[in-house]
Structure 1
């Protein structure tokens, strides 16, 4: 739970609901009914359906970044590819595409979508012994590989193939 304010409670409920049922294709009124509130309350707290979905995706990303510090890379990958996160990952990529295309209400989604990850990834790379001068490039590469494989997974559902690809990628960071 992220807090006890009415907005935080709605956001927690939306995260849980979307993880179980999806939601990007639902109207704001339908999402409000699913969450046991009114569309006016969602507009008050999030501005629009896109604002709500952006808040959901950003909070899920923040929770994943927090988990990165506590898990080894293989466990972190297993967490990201857990079936319980599939709807949230699909939402992430839908919003990413909409924001890149300039869809109204989605521009905020792009704020920090890359940069917010680089510091935590570089910190993890430091723990793995990657030299400081190499960390920025490795952080971008790791983020790109991870997001690419997650997109592959939500597109194809081929868990075995994406796991094998990530295993090959992570092997580059194992000490001989």
Structure 2
């Protein structure tokens, strides 16, 4: 059972002591070659990050101790401090890793979408992203400046892979790419926060069930994004009025290969 870390536990892990006493080879004072040392350091840091993302996702940030992370990673607790300085430093590194993995997942999905994205790849990707989904849920529940910074990173990253998706014809251009990216992320993560209702109403949760069980949810999402829901003639005037109340998109908001005037005349 994972127990919350205490101040005394954290205080007992002195970064200077850790750096001085840790020996990656386990051979006393014998110094390994610099290349081997660097590889071992990188491997240890990666194992710590993977373990931390899993445990933070399973038990939350306050419910996970550095000792538990070290045990799952198969390293000493002082080594965690040696690499990341503190629990806060480790969480920041986890946020960065999760953002990188999320970007990689999205970018690879776009790259493999021509001529059509294989269903088995979609299912495999969802299965592999399980720890990321759990981690993001705990981050949203915790809130604070950390999740604000993480969300900002996810939004900015999404502008890159959606621009690529536009370039190869997977999605249509937007009058305001950033606002669209924000809304799509909010909708996706909102469904994550309501995963228990998803399970109750659609029979499966991305946090509890296999990817194959998510077919009803994924089918509905695909229909929403590929088939018009609203009658354009009925809501056309409202859409025009809303566009007029928005500031002109900046250069950063314009999709790759398009100008604001191009977008305004999209059907």
- Give me the whole-angstrom Cα distance separating, in 2, the residues matched to 1:26 and 1:170: 38
Alignment gaps of 5+ in structure 1: none
1:64 to 102, 110, 122: 102
1:22 to 53, 58, 74: 58
Paired residues of 1:81 and 1:150 also in contact (CA < 8 A)? no
- Give me the whole-angstrom Cα distance separating, in 2, the residues matched to 1:36 and 1:49: 17
Could you give the per-residue CA deviations for residues 35-66 of structure 1, whole angstroms, max 9, x where no partner exists?
A: 12222221222232343234234213312312
**Structure 1 residues 70 and 107: alpha-carbon distance in aligned structure 2, compared to 1, 3 A threshold:** closer
1:141: which partner in 2? Answer: 183
Shift of 1:132: 5.5
Residue 165 of structure 2 is aligned to residue 165 of structure 1: no
Could you give the per-residue CA deviations for residues 49-104 of structure 1, whole angstroms, max 9, x where no partner exists?
A: 3432342342133123123233239668645532x433331212212332x335xx
**Structure 1 residues 30 and 47: alpha-carbon distance in aligned structure 2, compared to 1, 3 A threshold:** same
**Structure 1 residues 160 and 151: alpha-carbon distance in aligned structure 2, compared to 1, 3 A threshold:** farther
Paired residues of 2:48 and 2:73 also in contact (CA < 8 A)? yes
Q: Number of paired residues?
A: 166
Q: CA RMSD in A?
A: 3.6
Residue 185 of structure 2 is aligned to residue 131 of structure 1: no
1:101: which partner in 2? Answer: 144
**Structure 1 residues 70 and 85: alpha-carbon distance in aligned structure 2, compared to 1, 3 A threshold:** closer
The 5-angstrom pairing of residues 46-85 of structure 1 reads 46-71=84-109, 72=113, 78=123, 81-82=126-127, 84-85=128-129
Alignment gaps of 5+ in structure 2: 1-37, 205-213, 229-267
Residue 134 of structure 2 is aligned to residue 90 of structure 1: yes
Could you give the per-residue CA deviations for residues 4-42 of structure 1, whole angstroms, max 9, x where no partner exists?
A: 462x42343245434488353321111112212222221
- Give me the whole-angstrom Cα distance separating, in 2, the residues matched to 1:57 and 1:124: 25
- Give me the whole-angstrom Cα distance separating, in 2, the residues matched to 1:79 and 1:114: 24
Residue 157 of structure 2 is aligned to residue 112 of structure 1: no
Shift of 1:150: 3.2
- Give me the whole-angstrom Cα distance separating, in 2, the residues matched to 1:152 and 1:77: 21
2:47: which partner in 1? Answer: 13
Structure 1 residue matching 2:108: 3-state secondary structure: coil
1:32: which partner in 2? Answer: 70
